[in-house]
Amino acid sequence: MDIRPVPYDHPDAVKLDEEVQAEYHVRYGDGGDATSMAAADFEPPNGVYLVAYDHSGRPVASGGWRSRDGNGEGNEDGDAELKRMYVVGDMRGLGLARRILSALEDDARAAGRVRMVLETGTKQPEAIALYVSAGYAPCTKFGYYRFHPDSRCYAKTL
């Protein structure tokens, strides 16, 4: 498996983002994640976006982090927000999400971020299980979905 940084607007990142948005639609019945994001959010040193490629060069997983500081939406100074963690269906259960999560945590730590935060939902029990098993704990809700009843927010000190 080859995990490498790519721009958030790279064609492989866009393809995987479209797939995760379609999955959000199936699970939540809406138009996907409406959180405002831009490619510049993931440019080092203020963030990074990773794509994992299988042995044939097919993009099979992704995830990124972006810098977030105190902003009136529940973020705290020094936060790194995890975004768009996704693994294609036929590659799930192989530890790819955990590998990407670890790489993102290492990168955010190296960039001086002090806490990794994420927002997920009750209809993503696999994601919640991954984050809890990786040491994340519930935290004050933040971001676009902070008032939504299905939203769950987690944090981990880096």
Q: HSE, CB side, 13 Å, CA atoms: give it for residue 116.
A: 25
Average pLDDT over residues 76-81: 97
Query: How many distinct structural domains can be found in the chain?
Result: 1
Domain span including residue 32? 2-157
SS3 21: helix
Specify the CATH number for the domain of residue 111: 3.40.630.30
Residues 88-104 pLDDT 10s: 999 999 999 999 999 99
Alpha carbon of 51 to those of 11, 48, 77, 136: distances in Å?
Answer: 11, 10, 27, 22
Query: 24 phi and psi, to 5 degrees?
Result: -60, -40
Per-residue pLDDT at 31 exceeds 80: no
Q: Does the structure show a pLDDT above 80 at 142?
A: yes
- CA–CA separation, 139 and 60 (whole Å): 30
* β 59-68/79-87 pair status: antiparallel
**Furthest CA-CA distance within the chain:** 44
Q: What is the mean pLDDT of residues 55-81?
A: 96
